[in-house]
Structure 1
Amino acid sequence: MAEFGEAASSNIRDESRHAVRVIADDAQAIAVAHELAGRLAQGAAARDTERRLPHEEIEWFSQSGLWAITVPKAYGGAGVSFVTLTEVIKIIAAADPSLGQLPQNHFGLVDVIALTGTEEQKKYFFTQVLGGKRFGNGFSEKGTKNVLDLKTSVTRDGGDYVVQGTKFYSTGALFADFVPVLGLDSERKGWLAYIPKGTPGLTVIDDWSGFGQRTTASGTVVLESVRVPASHVLPAHRVSDFPTLNGPISQIIQAAIDAGIAKAALDDTLTFVRSRSRPWIDSGVERASDDPLTVREIGHLHIQLHAAEALLERAARVIDEIAAKRETTEDDVARASVAVGEAKVLTTEIALLAGEKLFELAGTQSTLGEHNLDRHWRNARVHTLHDPVRWKYHLVGNYYLNGVKPARHPWN
């Protein structure tokens, strides 16, 4: 079990970090993602087996400039499209889905700053992100009635705020330079306190024991009377009180991670069937890759993956179209939520199916621990539990049949 609570430097770059690349445009973001994915894929299976946290790899990731690609152009960032963002996440998640998940909340938090921050807050935090700083998260809690039933408080005290509570599922917090914590004020309105690493009273504990996404360190954050300056606190309630795309953006990143997991599982299926699997005795063929029933299943998996990827790209284009408008309406947000919901259904289903079919098609040898191929299904099963896909079917059907707009929150 590991934790941090020591004082941290406020410099944009720690002395241990190298210069951070600033990505200029969408094309460079995609190119850098492919380049980085090749490095991250090496050792990904071993990191999962050993549950070795990717401290070095996450430095490569943030130094690549990819964590800053959604910083608006007006503040020095690339301001890439959501089509590009989802493609970047897919590429990284296919190499190592734990690393693909680590910036998931970071990008949503960058969007919160863009939507609700003052001009001074935008300049400060966007500069930090462009310099390689990472946001973790302190959103969810255990033991409450539902995900929106929060016990953590954010209370104004003079020129500061005081944060008190305990969080779990805190993906990225252990690796973060700022741990944004969601809490409620006396009127039950949500506020996000962007707490610098090392702030007195902030403790991040590595106690994540999930059987998948094992190196995300999605454990506990404890907040004991943590004082945060008002300059680091943002009105999170505004992203749901008013029509914004924050929910669809958060969800499409989730879907992109699952698409990446599916791609990795299918790629490993092809490699194993071609190189190690044996044909079934009744097939009459010499190679497993010529078994007609195996060929049929591989075709089906690819069709399902390509359908999921097509809906994912379509949803990203819907978000891009709406984001380009001067004002976002309730109808816009509903349309984006439904488009992302449709994509999330298929990315969830293909991630789970590809992880399970791998063993059926590759055969018994593929279950040996030395291959660690079960990590694909484990990762898919754990990550797709972020919110129930059965409710996506309801969301989509209720919209088309009854004209009911989805509720506005981070899970829609």
Structure 2
Amino acid sequence: MSELLEHTAPPSSATQAPAPDTSQAIHAAWGANPSERYETLAQTWRPVFARIRASAVERDLQHRLPHAEIGWLREAGFTRLRLPAAQGGHDATLPELFGLLVELGAADTNVVNALRAHLGFTEEVLSADPSAWRDFWLDRLAQGDLIGAGLSEAGPAKVGSFATRLAAGPDGLRLDGRKFYTTGSLFADWISVAAQDDSGDTHYLQVPRRAAGVEVVDDWDGFGQALTASGTAIFTNVAIDDIWIKPGATRFPYAVPFYQLVHLASLAGIGRALAGDVAQRLRQRDRVYSHGNSASAAQDPQLLQVVGRTHAAAYTAGALTLHAAQAVQRSHDAHLQRTADSDAHEQAAAIAHVEVDQAVSVLTRVVLEASTELFDALGASATLRQAGLDRYWRNARTISSHNPRVYRERLVGDFAVNGTPPPTYYRVGINEAGSR
């Protein structure tokens, strides 16, 4: 530690020494890795993450979707992280997965979000009971197939229902409907779809993106996460094979905390990226204010405090993400070890919900604050579009809006006061009792 302090202490002479390379020291300051083998695991993909980050600002400015970047990750085996070694995977634990997602989020959160449905479906398959369906999809995932999102609807469907229909006809099952928030589907081979049959029963299925009758449109115009291809998918009389339909209508028990934790990993990645960005820009900044505290911006104590606060926010976000990932891992393990005479798996799932919701409350706040506060350490030129610093707030605000923290905080409070477990699954739609 004394060696680190000696190397990073400001020189006492009037002539400033060249700025040291602090990247390794800062990386170490993010906290302990989620496992002993994590560094070895991460070295496989860090060069890919670096390539993705190198063009992140350019992609954002030009609205260039990350087709190539997602292809790099697929080719490197990142999409098979959680699969067993026998299926070409890396047997990654959930904390290891989320540690890597934080690093990928620091490169580009659009890419993390685009892979969210794929990662969730992988959990769906891994946690499923033995079946022909599970075998089929394990093989497809092992072959490198990618999954995109197609569950949500923006239309008039009621809460707890879907307007998309799966109907039997003389020539087999057919799918008709319209989805929105189809994140990642333009990059995918399959789209995860939720639909209802004529009896009102819900079914979850995977539909080939290039099948006849499937149209995916890049019409997502949110001010953040603009490159996730989260727009519209239209299904018109699409022929459906039985093996594509998941047996039963239940999701894996830790689905809600898992999907939310992907968002938190993205936010933690934003925190790390903006903290590194503001530190580098302050280190390289030549111009100062006459009423500042130093002839060098890099030695101005007030500006250094701002950088310190952004790093503290990033540290908090990363630590919360990895700690909550342990709870989700425990829920996963309890589910696989469940027995008919024990409710331990249900308790583990409830605790995972609560731990992730608690993380949401703090993590979203500190990253959003840091994404604004970083500008206090820089000049007006930092607001130029070409700098790309505005994307941190835009992306963080958009991610945080997907699952409002106000409800998460209330659920935690209800659990703490009344012992009420959080709901297992969430749905969005029209509630007729409250419609005008």
- Aligned pair in 2 of structure 1 residues 80, 189: CA closer, same or farther (>3 Å)? farther
* Secondary structure of residue in 1 paired with 2:381: helix
* Segment drifting more, 122-131 vs 87-96: 122-131
Equivalent residues in 2 for 1:4-403 (5 A)?
28-72=40-84, 75-116=87-128, 119-144=131-156, 148-157=160-169, 160-235=172-247, 237-239=249-251, 244-276=253-285, 278-325=287-334, 326-327=337-338, 329-403=345-419
* Kept after mapping to 2: 8 A contact 1:312/1:344: no
Deviation at 1:146, TM superposition (A): 6.8
Once the two structures are superposed, residues 93-135 of structure 1 have per-residue CA deviations (whole angstroms, 9 ceiling, x without a partner) of 1111111211111111112223446522222222222222100
- Output the CA distance in 2 between the equivalents of 1:344 and 1:378: 17
**Is the contact between residue 357 and residue 412 of structure 2 (CA under 8 Å) also seen in structure 1?**
yes
How far did 1:75 drift? Answer: 4.5
- Mapped to 2, the partners of 1:158 and 1:113 lie a distance apart of 30
* Distance in 1, Cα, partners of 2:286 & 2:259: 39
What is the deviation of 1:301?
2.4
Name the SS of the counterpart of 2:220 in structure 1. coil
Amino acid aligned to 2:254? L
Equivalent residue letter for 1:92: L
SS of residue matched to 1:405: coil
Describe the shift of the 1:264–1:410 C-alpha distance in structure 2 as closer, same or farther (beyond 3 A): farther
| Aligned 8 A contact 1:279 1:291 in 2 | no
Distance 1:337 1:233 in 2: 27
Alpha-carbon distance in structure 2 between the residues aligned to 1:35 and 1:152: 41
Offset of residue 224 of structure 1: 0.8
Greater Cα shift, 227-236 or 299-308: 299-308
- Give the partner amino acid of 1:303: A
Shift of 1:147: 6.5
Task: Report the alpha carbon displacement of residue 157 of structure 1 after superposing the two structures with TM.
Answer: 4.4
Code of the aligned partner of 2:70? I
Q: Distance in 2 between matches of 1:30 and 1:279?
A: 39
Q: Which letter does structure 2 place at the counterpart of 1:78?
A: H
Residues 186 and 93 from structure 1, CA distance in 2 versus in 1: closer, same or farther, beyond 3 angstroms?
Answer: same
Change (3 A) 1:290 1:366: same
Q: 1:74 to 1:65 in 2, by over 3 A?
A: closer
Identity of aligned residues (%): 29
TM-fit CA distance, 1:284? 2.9
Q: In structure 1, how many angstroms separate the alpha carbons of the residues matched to 2:80 and 2:129? A: 17
> How many residue pairs are counted as aligned between the two chains?
385
User: Structure 1 residues 316 and 155, CA, compared in 2 at 3 Å: closer, same or farther?
Assistant: same
Q: Distance in 2 between matches of 1:320 and 1:46?
A: 36
Q: Which residue does 1:16 correspond to in 2?
A: none
8 A contact 1:265–1:355 mirrored in 2:
yes
Report how far residue 218 of structure 1 moved: 0.9
Q: Which residue type is aligned with residue 258 of structure 1?
A: L
TM-score (normalizing by structure 2):
0.82
CA contact (8 A) 1:184 1:191 kept: yes
Which deviates the most, 155-164 or 33-42? 155-164
Q: CA offset at residue 78 of structure 1?
A: 2.5
How far off is 1:160 after superposition? Answer: 4.3
Please state whether the residue corresponding to 2:174 is helix, strand or coil.
strand
Query: Which stretch of the first structure deviates more once superposed, 335-344 or 355-364?
Result: 355-364
| Cα distance in structure 1, aligned partners of 2:41 and 2:169 | 42
Letter in 2 for 1:273: L
Structure 2 distance, partners of 1:239, 1:176, is: 21
* Residues 280 and 291, structure 1, Cα contact 8 Å, conserved in 2: no
CA contact (8 A) 1:181 1:195 kept: yes
Give the Cα separation in 2 of the matches to 1:375 and 1:137.
23
Q: What are the ranges of 5 or more consecutive residues in structure 2 without an aligned counterpart?
A: 1-36, 339-343, 428-436
Letter in 2 for 1:291: D
Cα 1:28–1:221 shift into 2, 3 Å: farther
C-alpha distance in 2 between matches for 1:114 and 1:318: 18
Q: CA deviation at 1:177?
A: 0.5
Coordinate RMSD, CA, aligned: 2.3
Asked whether the equivalents of residues 298 and 304 of structure 2 are also in contact (C-alpha less than 8 Å), the reply is yes
Distance 1:68 1:155 in 2: 33
| Counterpart code for 2:360 | K
Letter in 1 for 2:235: L
Please report the TM-score for the alignment, with normalisation by the length of structure 1. Answer: 0.87
CA distance in 2, matches of 1:110, 1:187: 29
| Separation (CA, whole Å) in 1 of partners of 2:352 and 2:242 | 32
